[in-house]
Amino acid sequence: MMYLNRRGLYFKSTFSVVFALTFFMTPFQIHANEVVGTEQKTKSNVNQEDIAKYEDLKKAAKKEKVQKAVEQDATGNDPRVFSDKWMPYYRHTELENGLKQQDLTAFGTMRFSDRVGMFYEVPLAQKRDFSGISGVPSGTDATGMGDIDIKFLWRPEFGDWTFGEGGKMSGSVLFGTDFLFPTATDDLLGGDALLFAPIVGFVWDMPLHGFIAMLNLYYLDVYKEAGAPDTSRYVGRWFYMQPLTPPGPWYGGLYLMPEFQPIYDFETDDYSSWLGLEFGKMFAPGRIGYIKPGWGLGNSELIDRDLTLEVGFRWFF
């Protein structure tokens, strides 16, 4: 009896303690859980709201950045304006000797500041067909990647000037460097030499929102493989950009940009030139497509360009 009573008392006491703890602790635990849940929910909501606000601010900043670049350079061709642009293009080239070349190139610009920028050209794919050359067997070609080109341009403050009525038009002097790296995957696709060129350019406004740019480069080889020819060559890139229609309607945002390239090779005493006509359209602010046929002029060497056709797209970001 005593054992049973004690057991009964023990069971009863235990039941009482459990009941008391359950009765008194449960409301506090429930309240604590509600508080923690509310805090977690609030924290989650705040995080989501912060993320949404951050994304909106980032989109607005990007839109403002693109809008500012478009206001300064609507077609993406002005070398005075440094902005972030992605400009891939495809180019078909035929030389005087019958060689045909196809290039798919990742071209773009990177803005370091309002006065310094970088231009890069990375050949994604290249094919040279040599079968059109006299004496070369049919089907002779090379496929791979070509040489990478990187340019740096600087628009110093002391090189800016204004002119015209009220000083509304402006011009600039540009300085820079060009590096052509021998990165070709096949000797037939590259020059087997690291080339360097200083750049001096002049850009000034023209009436009706156009401008003229004259970039002058002088290439020298700083390193080359045995057997690669010496390089001492002047290349000019002179172009005139003229808008044809104002942005807005479906026919708006058209422009024409003829480009003339005089080339003189001091090693071979050879002069050649090339003329291209870029016709483009601005489909939206910072979205431009173009087509650019070109022809060789006054060519005297078989490796000079005869015909070219380029199709590309510019995307500000």
pLDDT at 258: 98
Domain end marker among 45, 72, 99? 72
* Same domain? 49 vs 197: no
Domain end marker among 44, 72, 100? 72
Ramachandran assignment for 253, one of left (phi > 0), alpha (psi -120 to 50 degrees), beta (any other): left
Q: Which domain holds residue 68?
A: 1-72
pLDDT at 126: 97
* Same domain? 167 vs 247: yes
Find where tokens 């977690």 sit: 40
* Same domain? 178 vs 204: yes
* Same domain? 112 vs 201: yes
pLDDT at 13: 42
pLDDT at 177: 98
| Separation of alpha carbons 38 and 177, rounded Å | 61
Which CATH number belongs to the domain containing residue 256 in this structure?
2.40.160.40
pLDDT at 46: 58
DSSP code per residue over 188-230: GGS-SEEEEEEEEEEEEEETTTEEEEEEEEEEEEEEE-TTPPP
* Same domain? 10 vs 40: yes
168-206 pLDDT, tens per residue? 999 999 999 999 999 999 989 998 999 999 999 999 999
Domain end marker among 14, 47, 72? 72
* Same domain? 17 vs 146: no
Is the distance from CB of 197 to CB of 175 less than 8 angstroms? no
* Same domain? 198 vs 283: yes
* Same domain? 4 vs 94: no
* Same domain? 183 vs 223: yes
pLDDT at 317: 94
pLDDT at 53: 74
| Separation of alpha carbons 169 and 315, rounded Å | 27
pLDDT at 193: 96
* Same domain? 93 vs 158: yes
pLDDT at 9: 35
Report the domain count for the chain: 2
Find where tokens 């590309």 sit: 312
pLDDT at 93: 98
pLDDT tens for the chain, 317 residues long, are: 333 343 343 333 443 433 343 444 444 444 445 544 555 554 455 578 777 777 777 777 777 888 888 899 999 999 999 999 999 999 999 999 999 999 999 999 999 999 999 999 999 999 999 999 998 998 899 999 999 999 999 999 999 999 999 999 999 999 999 999 999 999 899 989 999 999 999 999 999 999 999 999 999 999 999 888 999 999 999 999 999 999 888 889 999 999 999 999 999 999 999 999 999 999 999 999 999 999 999 888 899 999 999 999 999 99
Tell which residue, 290, 267, 263, has the closest CA to residue 278: 290
pLDDT at 6: 33
* Same domain? 38 vs 121: no
* Same domain? 143 vs 221: yes
